[in-house]
């Protein structure tokens, strides 16, 4: 299965600290994306990194991709209570079906005020 | 510019009844995905459709579940003779043909009594 896996499963930090979440996957990918899900809501797209990119920034978000290790990390700097949510990585096949998305089981982030 | 819409947002059914979940894509989006999410878990791919065609239904249970995306109107996920194990949040996501990112609806929470 291509399904990604995030770790840790849960993370609790104080407001202002940085939060790092990791995602590992199994086969070659076309791109990797990170999504956020607030409790009881749908997923919101955060950032996309392509297989030929190593790092990408968007505001307080920094994503890295290591295709040799088949892993990615999402760093949220200077966290806020509003960042409390579950974070999922999603990958698409590079070869077989780039229209199919595989989601990990998520990291539940709790940012304490 | 409305986003992806799903209705109903909450649905209660008794065992043996039918559940119909609707997804209206964003304007211009012709690709629809359905996912199921159990509490505290990630999203599981169910089916991928384009207008009038099922492209990939590898995640759909073989029985009782069906999906369609007609030429006119919303995409429908239909669950016949529901059982308690069908209780979950069902999300649809849509995109344009060439896009790499999906846009999620708010989900339908199905509760089977």
**Contact in structure between A73 and A20 (CB atoms under 8 Å):** yes
Overall average pLDDT of the B75-87 stretch = 97
Is the pLDDT at A68 greater than 80, yes or no?
Answer: yes
What DSSP string runs through B52-63? Answer: TEEEE-TTS-SS
By C-alpha distance, the chain B residue nearest A6 is: B42
Question: Which one-letter DSSP state was computed for residue B80?
Answer: -
Question: Which one-letter DSSP state was computed for residue B26?
Answer: P
Q: What is the pLDDT of residues B88-97, one digit of tens each?
A: 999 999 998 8
Helix (H, G, I), strand (E, B) or coil at A33: strand
| Closest-CA distance of chain B to residue A73, Å | 17
Average pLDDT, chain B: 93
Q: What is the pLDDT of residues A22-58, one digit of tens each?
A: 999 988 888 899 999 998 888 999 999 999 999 999 9
Overall average pLDDT of the A61-83 stretch = 96
What distance, in Å, lies between the first and last C-alpha atoms of chain B?
A: 37
* pLDDT computed for residue A94 by the predictor: 65
Question: What is the pLDDT confidence band of residue A64, given thresholds at 50, 70 and 90?
Answer: very high
CB contact under 8 A, A103 and B103: no
Collect all residues with Cβ–Cβ distance below 8 Å to B37 and sequence separation of at least 6. Answer: B43, B44, B88, B89, B90, B91, B107
Q: Any long-range contacts for B64-71 (C-beta under 8 Å, 24+ apart)? A: B67/B34, B69/B32
Is the pLDDT at B1 greater than 60, yes or no?
Answer: no
By C-alpha distance, the chain B residue nearest A105 is: B42
Question: Which one-letter DSSP state was computed for residue B81?
Answer: S
Average pLDDT, chain A: 90
Collect all residues with Cβ–Cβ distance below 8 Å to A41 and sequence separation of at least 6. Answer: B106, B107
Helix (H, G, I), strand (E, B) or coil at A82: helix
Instruction: Centre a 10 Å sphere on the Cβ of residue A30 and count the other Cβ atoms it contains.
Output: 16
Overall average pLDDT of the B5-18 stretch = 97
Residues 26-65 of B with CB under 8 A from A: 31, 33, 35, 40-45, 48, 55-56
| Closest-CA distance of chain B to residue A26, Å | 17
Instruction: Between A97 and A100, name the one with better pLDDT.
Output: A100
- Dist CA A91 CA A63 (whole Å): 14
- Dist CA B96 CA A21 (whole Å): 29
């Amino acid at each position: 299965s291509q399904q990604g896996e995030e770790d840790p499963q849960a993370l609790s930090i104080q407001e202002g600290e940085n939060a790092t979440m990791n995602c590992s996957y199994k086969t070659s990918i076309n791109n990797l994306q990170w999504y956020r899900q607030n409790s009881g809501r749908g997923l919101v797209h955060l950032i996309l990194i392509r297989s030929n990119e190593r790092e990408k920034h968007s505001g307080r978000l920094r994503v890295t991709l290591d295709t040799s290790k088949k892993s990615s990390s999402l760093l949220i700097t200077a966290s806020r209570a509003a960042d409390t949510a579950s974070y999922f990585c999603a990958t698409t096949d590079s070869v077989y079906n780039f229209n199919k998305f595989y989601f990990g089981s998520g990291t539940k982030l709790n940012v304490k005020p | 510019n409305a986003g992806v819409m799903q209705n109903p947002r909450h649905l209660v059914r008794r065992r043996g009844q039918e559940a119909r979940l609707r997804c209206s894509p964003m304007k211009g989006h012709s690709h629809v995905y359905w996912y199921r999410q159990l509490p505290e878990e990630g999203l599981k791919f169910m089916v991928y459709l384009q207008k009038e065609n099922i492209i990939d239904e590898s995640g759909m249970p073989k029985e009782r579940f069906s999906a369609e995306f007609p030429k006119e109107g919303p995409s429908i996920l239909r669950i016949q003779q529901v059982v308690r194990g069908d209780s979950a949040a069902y999300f649809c996501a849509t995109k344009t043909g060439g896009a790499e990112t999906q846009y999620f609806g708010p989900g339908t929470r199905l509760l089977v009594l």
